[in-house]
Amino acid sequence: MAIIPFDDRDGTIWYDGALVPWREAKLHVLSHGLHYASCVFEGERVYNGTVFKLTEHSERLVRSAEILGFHIPWSVADIDAATEAVVRSTGLSDAYVRPVAWRGSEMMGVSAQNNKIHLAIAAWEWPSYFTPESKMAGIRLMWAPWRRPAPDTAPVASKAAGLYMICTLSKHAAEQQGYQDALMLDYRGLLAEATGANLFLVIDGKIHTPTPDCFLDGITRRTVIGLARARGLEVIERAIRPEELADAQEVFITGTAAEVTPVGGIGEHRFTPGRVCEALIRDYDALVRSPGASAAAAA
């Protein structure tokens, strides 16, 4: 299948307040966001024409920027409205949305106090790749060669672009060895997350998930925890040691792109995706595609 470059597509992108032709949404090569990673972003999904949990994503984008020391000059309501305008302009029912904010090119150096803050929002087609049944085979993860940093060494609560380089390196290493993804430990050697998704273990009917104290507490993660508890399943957030994978009967990951994806293996450990994974896949799919999804997002 031919790859369509992301800089050479039809359509429009919301850029600093207006919809502009896709190919004209450009930034200068000396932008601070490129050189010093002063850039934050979001990943959002459109189901049946509606962005799931849009306001939560817009709020996190603003908060991520503030953690990096800059203020996005549009309110959460403005960002919501701009995102909805972008989605309408695509005419797509199922899509992926990428808001991104960054420091511009007024100053080039570590210090960039006077740089203009830019915001762009793009959306493109993103169909569901798996049926609930086909997901149940489970993906294979290797151990990542990089670890999530400690909270006092990086702005770990921000969805900041710079924090994802170790994810790219780990994902590439996994794919080169025939795996779909990699499982990252944290700076203490505890289980953390996959390269772009949160981790859950099912042990004797209870769901265990690492405490998100050095990585993002994902919006999908929180949604799935709510769905599990609504089913009467106990969810325990705690520090989890790698050797505890041997006690798990089911393992799954969650994220905007991953949704709820079962894991069939991590390194030497093997799992059999079962009733918990299947139930949460169906519950999540029903939630995001329900007519009341927007109301649920605002609740």
pLDDT digits (tens, 9 = 90+) for 282-294: 999 999 998 766 5
Dist. CA 54–CA 129, nearest whole Å: 22
Confidence of residue 298 (pLDDT cuts 50, 70, 90): very low
**What is the fold, at CATH topology level, of the domain defined by 12-125?**
D-amino Acid Aminotransferase; Chain A, domain 1 (3.30.470)
Q: Which residues does residue 179 pair with via DSSP β-bridges, in sequence order?
A: none
Residues 6+ apart with CB under 8 A from 222: none
**Mean pLDDT throughout 265-287?**
96
Q: Which residues does residue 193 pair with via DSSP β-bridges, in sequence order?
A: 184, 198
Model pLDDT, residue 297:
42
Model pLDDT, residue 132:
63
From the list 53, 159, 171, 206, the catalytic residue is 159
CB 210 within 8 A of CB 192: yes
Candidates 184, 185, 201, 182; CA nearest to 248 is: 201
Sign of CA dihedral 222, 224, 230, 232: negative
Q: What is the DSSP letter of 29?
A: T
CB 258 within 8 A of CB 180: no
Please confirm, yes or no, whether 171 is among the known catalytic residues.
Answer: no
> For the whole model, what pTM was predicted?
0.93
pLDDT digits (tens, 9 = 90+) for 106-123: 999 999 999 999 999 999
Structure tokens at 290: 């329900």
Q: Where are the domains of the chain?
A: 12-125, 132-291
pLDDT digits (tens, 9 = 90+) for 246-269: 999 999 999 999 999 999 999 999
DSSP the chain: -----TTS-SSEEEETTEEEEGGG----TT-HHHHH--EEE--EEEETTEETTHHHHHHHHHHHHHHTT---SS-HHHHHHHHHHHHHHHT-SSEEEEEEEEE-SS--SS--TTPPEEEEEEEEE------HHHHTT-EEEEEPSS-BPPTTTS-TTS-BGGGGHHHHHHHHHHHHTT-SEEEEEBTTS-EEEESSSEEEEEETTEEEEE--SSS---HHHHHHHHHHHHTT--EEEE---GGGGGG-SEEEEEETTTEEEEEEEETTEE----HHHHHHHHHHHHHHTSTTHHHHHH-
**What is the fold, at CATH topology level, of the domain defined by 132-291?**
D-amino Acid Aminotransferase; Chain A, domain 2 (3.20.10)
Dist. CA 164–CA 64, nearest whole Å: 14
Model pLDDT, residue 292:
64
Q: Is the pLDDT of residue 1 over 80?
A: no
